[in-house]
Structure 1
């Protein structure tokens, strides 16, 4: 006998549409919050873009790459495709396309990075929302959006922001792979690791230990887990090496010289110069060059909390460690917790151990920090557990106050205000507890969430915002550039940003040797734009600044413009407008001439064997090159450069012996080598 099913209780009948309405409200709230985060990030990164931190060296690369497909693929520094930059060019492909479409301007080389930062915030927020809740996602997104060093580097054309975006995509795919135990999503995560490799090379692989370990603890047969990790890892590594393999298979005389190498070899550039060469203890000068930017102090276990880095990234590091423990104790997804916690530890250890680095390298830490805090707070909120919420707010507030009290130049007032907001947030958290039982109805949930978020990110948000008024093309950092921008080899703050070597000396980062064509007190990161607050007193602004450096730092921008006009008027049938010693000296001329053909002797740091002396002499004999822009004293700066004792020094000496000063040129640094 068929009977009717018993009627549902009234509560059950009404609960379905009510839950649907609540779910719809949460989704709309998340979308509105996500839109607000995207707009806020865009304002922080795009506002006053004309005064953003533009490295002329990297801007010249984008211009040169926009000239033709070969330059685009290889990452050629100069329009003629003589030498490449010292990295795989993945971070410059989008800026190069912007330049190709819109022409060169500060915004065309900086806005792509700003947009990458906005995309990163969105991806992280969506990942947090999918793993836990809309609140977890929005808090995670807010943490990323207010990470000071990420905002600072996103307002520049340094090759970092696209790397961070790639890692955000790794986290998004990994979240699906770990929760769904899916080989397809694990392979996707591995492919995003490969994408990150194209932007920042070996450091991208540092996320694999966390990803592999997390997947190996998922609930499925051991053999399947191992097989999935092996397949995804192999695909990831093979895809990562695609650019290197293709370039190495092309005959050496059919491609640009691979920058910052001894052997014209892309493997050396990636695994030597940009790998082992970053750790001085392992550097082998006979096998590869080394490079250690002197901006973040000495390696140590507390490096991330030193004066150079604390204000850039350390605000939420203690809270992130606490969040890892919270997620573990609350029995949140073990694979996800292991993935994010291991990622945080591995990257923190790596940045603490590398010999030298720019502060903006640590921007990648924003991702595990944000997701750990967002997920921990969201899970505790979802389960109505008070102590994790209160603890996270309290630890964050205490950290902000301690950093501001410990180091000069930080706003103690802001951190105290954050602590006060934290006290209010804790009260609201207590007031909102038990809401599921309808025992308390003090304030809307969104107000509690907003105040709690402010209690977590207020100080770093302010520190990030003031970066807008303090750009630095050489070493983008958050806050006051003059206070926190640089440091000599010992990591001290005596040097303004833009000073490499010992304070007050010019030179390439980490070398302490004079920069070719730069006045004393200049140098640092390649192709600096002069006249930035807190930087060295370089003449000129915008594209002319690098040219001012090439003239010894004594000519005004108008004189530099006169020299560019003179070179263009007298180029004749020569293929190259002029040759300079080092890519940094060439960058300003390339930009000032909208992609003029300049020969950068020795590449980035005058240390590359390109061109050789015989090749240089042949260029002169064939009429392809006539003018050479040297330091004010022939045989001076270039010959003294620690990395140019061979090829560049030989060419410098040959020019001094066989060429004459172009007396009608606007500068006595121009030599005429016409035969």
Structure 2
């Protein structure tokens, strides 16, 4: 197809005969076929990969309702108050923030402000982030290992079950992964010509990733630093100076917001949820820093230095392969580790600045450091954190397959590829066996394909007619198990604060809820596809019970779904806050049901000392809170001292009434 812009200018010469049909000219041809000199399959294959990713991530997306109601409520608050948007407040009245920096909320809330608050605008930004991450990983790996490696890497990321989960859900991890892949792309660009500018951009990307999920964003820095020190084509002195400049860019891109929060008068901003002293810096160093690594108070679900965290299984080198993480991330993990070792061996004689080996160091360092920290951290860890490993695994598998195939005349290359497919076939057989009622035949197909592919790679490289069989066996071995779980993940609904992937997903925490209005808060029906009757999970196996943390807070437990009577009562209020209740999940569910602000006493875990009793009394005296709702998560006397004191004061000074099945205290006359 041609357009007017593609046609040549008219001349006075007589018209010539119609030319024979050929490929589309100009920009359209470049769009469809790619630049001149590029293999004809590359651009169509890349576009097909992105289209397939979009279908997988966007199909039936609103079936999960608002996903994680905790972040959805904060997004709703951000559409109602610019201050709530800036600080990541859970409520538009700006009583307390979520327990993460607001980077992901800034993006999602901007989307909701543009297109209206609904289930789709809550979840779609993460899907678009996933599509972008897949495309950017393809481009990054392509620059160092060619288009085939990029296509394998991008496809591996797209089809990783935990990636499908997180890119269809509204946790901050989607933006975190996109920003880390963006930083990796900038690092690769910086390696090509020792560019300080590109390296500084990588620092900026990690700085904003820090404002998305704090310390987890920094786990890729050792790999980025090492690869630039090793492979940048310039002197060691200049390499060090460039790294210092990139560190400065990181500090500025993250530090401006930390400084803004620390310098802003505490009395005119919300309390920093998750902190012990209303400080974002303390939140980064404590609750979202050392608290995650070493355990301790404030991390709901994590023991204080225990070697067995509540949601991630026992610490140790096998954690990523265990029951909590295995089916989320480890489908291609053995292949990635083999690819790293084999690839480094095959490139051992390459010059220092070789980009292919630099790519191995980048993705290998990312994988080893991040997986190592996840495996041994004693604080709170959830299986979905493993999505941060997916780009590195994809990059290593793509590069490993390509270099082993290109050098298959060498025994070491054949052993590398054979080991990759055989290990994947055996391990995927084990993983598929963990859900024996899900595609029971698939584990045998994967195992047979892995064994067949390994044998053919080892002995059949000189017989051209077996090459198609080799390729097919390799593809089935590397892709079937993960793809099956990815499709099953997309077919499930996911709600709550701790979702899991696979054919039988579950989640803890506030989930769906029939009280949420269709297309936005305040309606009487649930958004399209929301599980009825306030169900929290996505399947019959999902958890809908309240599960409190090891510290006594219940912020991650199931929400107390609002009755129609309670929803109507709160919807008719005109005060700053319609109500106050213990724990963020309860408050979030009420906000989504009514569209009104609700104070989450004690924050996410119910253990924050915010608001204080004195502050609460002042707000009540000023007529800013209409009702106190008993029975939320965080548990009153079992939560923070502030929550316990507030509940005791309310019970002593106000009369309890029952609305629906909920105990309510009216605080205004």
TM-score by length of 2: 0.80
Q: Name 2:650's counterpart in structure 1.
A: 655
- Indicate the residue corresponding to 1:340 in structure 2: 363
Q: In the alignment, what sits opposite 2:335? A: 319
Q: For 1:561, which of 561, 564, 575 is the aligned residue?
A: 564
Q: Which whole-Å CA distance do the structure 1 matches of 2:456 and 2:599 have between them? A: 64
Cα pair 1:258 1:266 within 8 Å, conserved: yes
Structure-1 separation of matches of 2:481 and 2:34: 33
How many Å apart are 1:37 and its aligned residue? 1.5
Q: Is the 8 A contact 2:34 2:40 kept in 1?
A: no
Q: Runs of 5+ in structure 2 lacking a partner?
A: 1-32, 303-308, 511-533, 547-554
The equivalences for 1:357-436 within 5 A come to 357-385=381-409, 387=414, 388-405=416-433, 411=439, 413-422=441-450
Cα deviation digits, residues 270-303 of structure 1 (max 9, x gap): 111111111345x3x5xx7676372211211111
Q: Which residue of 1 aligns with 2:626?
A: 626
1:511-550 matches, cutoff 5 A: 530=536, 532-533=538-539, 534-537=541-544
Q: Is the 8 A contact 1:56 1:529 kept in 2?
A: no
8 Å contact from structure 1 (residues 169, 189) kept in 2: yes
Kept after mapping to 1: 8 A contact 2:461/2:467: no
Q: Distance in 1 between matches of 2:290 and 2:217?
A: 15
1:430-449 to 2 correspondence within 5 Å?
A: 440=464
Check 1:550–1:340 CA distance in 2 against 1; reply closer, same or farther (3 A cut): closer
Q: Which deviates more from structure 2 when the two are superposed, residues 419-428 or residues 350-359?
A: 419-428
Task: Tell me, yes or no, if structure 1 residue 226 matches structure 2 residue 240.
Answer: yes
The Cα offsets for residues 527-550 of structure 1, whole Å up to 9 and x where unpaired, read as x962531223469xxxxxx9x966
1:232-251 equivalences under 5 Å are 232-251=246-265
Q: In structure 2, what is the equivalent of residue 8 of structure 1?
A: none
Q: CA RMSD in A?
A: 3.0
Q: 2:53 is matched with which residue: 18, 27, 41?
A: 41
Q: How does 1:107-146 map to 2 (within 5 A)?
A: 107-146=120-159
Superposition pairs of residues 2-41 of structure 1, within 5 angstroms: 24=36, 26-41=38-53
Residue pair 1:660, 1:673 contacting (<8 A) in 2 also: no
1:116/1:161 contact within 8 Å kept: yes
Q: Which residue of 1 aligns with 2:615?
A: 615
Counterpart of 1:639? 636
Deviation of residue 214 (structure 1)? 1.3
Using the TM superposition, give the Cα deviation of residue 248 of structure 1 relative to its aligned residue in structure 2, in angstroms. 0.5
Residue number among 310, 320, 342 corresponding to 1:304 in the alignment: 320
Q: Distance in 2 between matches of 1:145 and 1:152?
A: 10
The DSSP-based 3-state class of the residue aligned with 2:631 is coil
Q: Secondary structure at the match of 2:310?
A: coil
- In structure 2, do the counterparts of structure 1 residues 299 and 140 end up closer, same or farther at CA, with 3 Å as the change threshold? same
Contact conserved, 2:408 with 2:461, CA < 8 A, in 1? yes
| Deviations, residues 347-400 of structure 1 (Å, cap 9, x unaligned) | 110110122311110111111111111112122333454503333222221221
- Secondary structure of the equivalent of 1:459? helix
Partner of 2:177: 164
The residue that corresponds to 2:584 in the other structure is 583
Which residue of 2 is the match for residue 498 of structure 1?
508
3-state SS, counterpart of residue 577 of structure 1? strand
Structure-2 change in CA distance of 1:280 and 1:443 (3 Å): closer
Equivalent position of 1:673 in the other structure: 667
Q: CA deviation at 1:25?
A: 7.6
CA contact (8 A) 1:659 1:674 kept: no
Cα distance in 1 for partners of 2:40, 2:97 equals 48
**Corresponding residue to 2:486 among 464, 469, 474:** 464
Q: How far is the alpha carbon of 1:423 from its aligned partner?
A: 5.7
CA 1:537–1:251 in structure 2 vs 1: closer, same or farther (change >3 Å)? closer
**Contact (CA 8 Å) 2:581, 2:630: kept in 1 or not?**
yes
What displacement does 1:411 show? Answer: 4.9
- The offset of 1:499, in angstroms, is 7.5
Partners of 1:432 and 1:441 within 8 A in 2: no
Give the match for residue 277 of structure 2: 263
3-state secondary structure, aligned to 1:312? helix
- Summarize the Cα distance change of 1:473–1:330 in structure 2 as closer, same or farther, 3 Å threshold: same
Aligned mates of 1:583, 1:576 — CA distance in 2: 14
Q: Is the 8 A contact 2:535 2:544 kept in 1?
A: no
Q: Which residue of 2 aligns with 1:96?
A: 109
CA distance in 2, matches of 1:400, 1:671: 55
Asked if the contact 2:274–2:603 (Cα under 8 Å) also holds between the matched residues in 1, the reply is yes
**In the comparison of the two structures, how many residue pairs are matched?**
583
Q: Is the CA contact 1:142–1:453 (under 8 Å) kept in the aligned structure 2?
A: no
Alignment of 1:294 with 2:310, yes or no, is yes
Does structure 2 conserve the Cα–Cα contact (< 8 Å) formed by 1:360 and 1:477?
Answer: yes
- Native 8 Å contact 2:34 2:42 kept in 1: no
Structure 2 contact 196–246 (Cα < 8 Å) conserved: yes
SS class of match (2:400): helix
Residues 209 and 538 of structure 1: CA distance in aligned 2, closer, same or farther (over 3 Å): closer
1:593 paired residue number: 594
Describe the SS at the equivalent of 2:80: coil
Per-residue deviation, 1:104:
2.3
Give the counterpart of 2:215 among 202, 219, 227.
202
- Give the Cα separation in 1 of the matches to 2:278 and 2:663: 30
Checking the alignment, whether the CA contact within 8 Å between 1:142 and 1:457 is kept in structure 2 is no
- After superposition, the Cα gap between the structure-2 partners of 1:561 and 1:531, relative to the gap in structure 1 and judged at 3 Å, is farther
Q: Counterpart of 2:314 in 1: which secondary structure?
A: coil
- 1:249: Cα distance to partner? 1.1
User: Aligned partners of 1:563, 1:639: CA distance in 2, in Å?
Assistant: 20
Matched with 1:489 is none
Between 1:581-590 and 1:72-81, the stretch displaced more is 581-590
Equivalent pair of 1:273/1:291 in contact (CA under 8 Å):
no
1:272 aligns to 2:299 (yes or no): no
Distance 2:342 2:56 in 1: 31
Kindly state the Cα deviation for residue 238 of structure 1 after the two structures are TM-superposed.
3.0
Indicate the residue corresponding to 1:192 in structure 2: 205
**Residues 278 and 291 in structure 1, CA contact (< 8 A), matched pair in contact too:** no
Instruction: Look up the match of 2:518.
Output: none
TM-score by length of 1: 0.80
- Cα distance between partner residues in 2 of 1:269 and 1:124: 31
CA contact (8 A) 2:58 2:168 kept: yes
Distance, in Å, in 2 between the alignment partners of 1:466 and 1:194 is 34
Moved more, 424-433 or 113-122: 424-433
When residues 23 and 43 of structure 1 are mapped into structure 2, their CA distance, relative to the original with a 3 A threshold, is: closer
Give the deviation of 1:669 after TM superposition: 0.7
The answer on whether the counterparts of 1:67 and 1:79 sit within 8 Å (CA) in structure 2 is: yes
